[in-house]
Structure 1
Amino acid sequence: MTTIRDVASRAEVSIATVSRVVNGNRPVHPDIRERVLKAVEELDYRPNFLARGLRQSNTCMIGLIIPDNSNPFYAELARAIEDAGFAAGYSVILCNSDLSEEKQLAYVDVLLSHKVDGVILIHQTSTPLKTLERILAENVPAVLANSDIPLPTLDQVLVEEHQGGYLAGQYLVSLNHRRIGCITISPPHSYIAKRIVGFRHALAEAGIELTTESFAMGNGRYESGYQAMQELLQRCPDLTAVFVFNDLMALGAINALHAQGIRVPEDISIIGYENIFYASAFEPGLTTIAQPIAAIGQECITRLLERIQQPEKPPTHITLPVELIERSTCRPLLAHNSIVESRSFS
């Protein structure tokens, strides 16, 4: 393996000069700098940034733990965080907990062993204490995103979940839907509860009450949306609209309807949540509540770097707005058609 000594010998300079060029922390004559860079390229020299970071008490590496990298929302959010981190001079180590607390704790140990400068945790459960205790015990800064866990001592990046649920309900009511179902996510995280409250609030303003039979649950994945839609149809065959708590499950729900010969939106309207890429690529285009993915990523990096640089700074909780994106999976009902004849499905 090429060493800094090899580069110094090839460029006919001292090791200290090579170090100054590579680190960029002191001025070097342009001719000498060019000679060193040429030697670096010819010898394919790769500095040991981890060792350098340990000497300088930082590694310029950040850990990112997400619950499910097969979900496009988390993939897109991870990309947004990686882009923001790279722009700030940090490398991001991605860890997928796969909805497993045991796997998440194992990844925390990996990140700590790599001496990361901080950790970002996305969509944690209501009991992430083991994970956080392990991180904070090492005095490593952490930021929670999209979690809404009552931990006032930690920086958090949140979205307006209540408003998101309210917008979905308000929109369906404005289209004259009254027989409305809902596919939520289990286990019921705190942010899910806020979304439900907002949705119920909008429907209650129109005199619509959601019964227990109007709810089905999935785990956030495509197949669970498909199965939940089947269950919902069995219990409530006369639905005209369904609010699905993430886009991936919404796409599964739409295909479950298609499999039974039910058209979207002609027979049942569907509204999702998140606005992943496939929401616009799918046909028909999915009407959804958009989370500000790029803004979440940028705020996560901003908050974490502020915490790294100012460890005594009071924690901040940032709440970002959501937005209704109208596409093609919802249609208005005529007022006299809002009460429809029950349908039967085999």
Structure 2
Amino acid sequence: MATIKDVARLAGVSTTTVSHVLNETRFVSEDAKARVMQAVAALNYVPNTVARSLKGGSSRVLGMLVTDTNNPFYADLIQWVDRVAYRHGYNLMLCNTQGNADRARDYLAMLAQRRVDGMLLMSSDTQQETMADLSERLAMPAVVMDSAPAEAGYDRILDDSEMGGELAVTHLIEQGHQRIGLLAGPLSKRNSQSRLSGYRHALTKAGLAADDNWVCSDELSFEGGYRAMHALLARQQQLTAVFASNDLMAMGAMRALMEAGLRVPEDVSVVGYDDIPAARYCNPPLTTVRQPMEALAEQALSMLLDRIREPSLPGRQVVLPPALVGRDSVAPVN
């Protein structure tokens, strides 16, 4: 098995230079860097991360907490984060909290014991009592990839959910719709509240009443959308369009509409949120609001690596704008 000395000998540099290239700890000329990487490839050199962790305090491992890996949005995001982490020479340790705050705390303690270099938090259950004591209990860099409270003191990267909700409803209004329902996620979640605010703002700007009788809240799932759509139809039989707080809810709603004898989009137009892969393949393909998945992964890793290198940096917040993706589930009002 090749050693770091073998790489240095083949590249014609010192072992220190090889270390700086692999760990990105100091400037190395492009020529020397290229020779080192060529030698690494030629020798199939694999760094000893355990020894490197003991010697330099770096495990080259990042932790990631998510609420539910069964949600296609999280599954897609995890793939992007893993690609970016791998490109930077890090492995990703994934922890699925399954929506359980106690489990989230246990995973956070385990990650600290494993000496991961930093962690990414995308878990709404850490936003309640867990977040309040994390800053005192954890001695590692962290970036929150959703709407954690600002007082938690972490670097945060957020989707502009209010803007996304406004984009969705404005698109429906532009198609002539005025009787627009909202299938909201749990209103204890900040993203659900923000999308509700965007819904109201779009209606108000268009001179339409923002009436809470047109809003039904349920889980961010197929079943939640299905139940919420049936509940909304029971109250508002004259609706012509609906905005769902995520794509899973939108697909559940489409099923409920079909069972009620209503066609999408001829009778009721539907807009979702997230642009999960299945959105383009459902029938009809779903108009939705896309979160910039690749940019989210890139920005989160960049912020975390900055924090690992410079722990004393002031806390930062980056908000990424969403974009509307028009497909066939929306039509002009009939």
TM range (shorter): 0.7 to 0.9
Q: 1:211 to 1:59 in 2, by over 3 A?
A: same
How does the TM-score come out when normalised to structure 1?
Answer: 0.82
Structure 1 stretch displaced more, 199-208 or 135-144 = 135-144
Work out whether residues 226 and 249 of structure 2, in 8 Å CA contact, stay in contact via their aligned partners in 1: yes
Which residue of 2 is the match for residue 138 of structure 1? Answer: 138
Higher Cα Rg, which structure: 1
CA distance in 2, matches of 1:138, 1:154: 12
Instruction: State the match for 1:70 in structure 2.
Output: 70
Residue by residue over 1:70-113, the C-alpha shift from the partner in whole angstroms, topping out at 9 and shown as x without a partner, is 11111111111111111111111111111111111121122122
Q: Is the contact between residue 120 and residue 143 of structure 2 (CA under 8 Å) also seen in structure 1?
A: yes
Matched, 1:278 2:252: no
1:113-132 correspondence to structure 2 within 5 Å: 113-125=113-125, 127-131=127-131
The CA deviation at 1:59 is: 0.3
Which amino acid counterpart does residue 84 of structure 2 have in structure 1? Answer: A
CA–CA distance in 2 between the matches of 1:16 and 1:326? Answer: 52
Question: Which aligned pairs between 1:47-62 and structure 2 lie closer than 5 A?
Answer: 49-62=49-62
Identical aligned residues as a percent: 32
Give me the TM-score of the superposition, normalised by structure 2.
0.84
Give 1:123 deviation, angstroms: 4.5
- What is the CA distance between 1:192 and its match in structure 2? 2.1
Distance 1:96 1:283 in 2: 31
Match of 1:321?
321
CA distance in 1, matches of 2:4, 2:76: 42
Higher mean displacement: 255-264 or 285-294: 255-264
Cα contact 1:66–1:96 (8 A) shared by 2: yes
Counterpart of 2:257 in structure 1 is 257
Aligned to 1:186: 186
Q: Deviations over 1:189-241 (max 9, x none)?
A: 22322221121011012222232321112221111111111111112122111
Asked whether the equivalents of residues 228 and 253 of structure 2 are also in contact (C-alpha less than 8 Å), the reply is yes
Give the C-alpha shift of residue 63 in structure 1: 0.6
- Does the 8 A contact of 1:135 with 1:142 survive in 2? no
Query: Residue 208 of structure 1 aligns with which residue?
Result: 208
- Note closer, same or farther for the CA distance 1:234–1:268 as it changes in structure 2 (3 Å cut): same
1:169 paired to 2:169: yes
- SS of residue paired to 2:197: helix
| CA–CA separation in structure 2 for the residues paired with 1:328 and 1:57 | 53
Mapped to 1, the partners of 2:15 and 2:75 lie a distance apart of: 33
Tell me the amino acid that sits aligned with residue 161 of structure 1: S
**1:301 equivalent in structure 2:** 301
CA 1:148–1:170: 2 relative to 1, 3 Å: farther
Residue 289 of structure 1 aligns to a residue in which SS? strand
Which blocks of at least 5 consecutive residues in structure 1 are unaligned? 1-6, 335-346
Q: Residue type of the partner of 2:269?
A: S
Stretches of structure 2 lacking an aligned partner (at least 5 in a row): 19-34
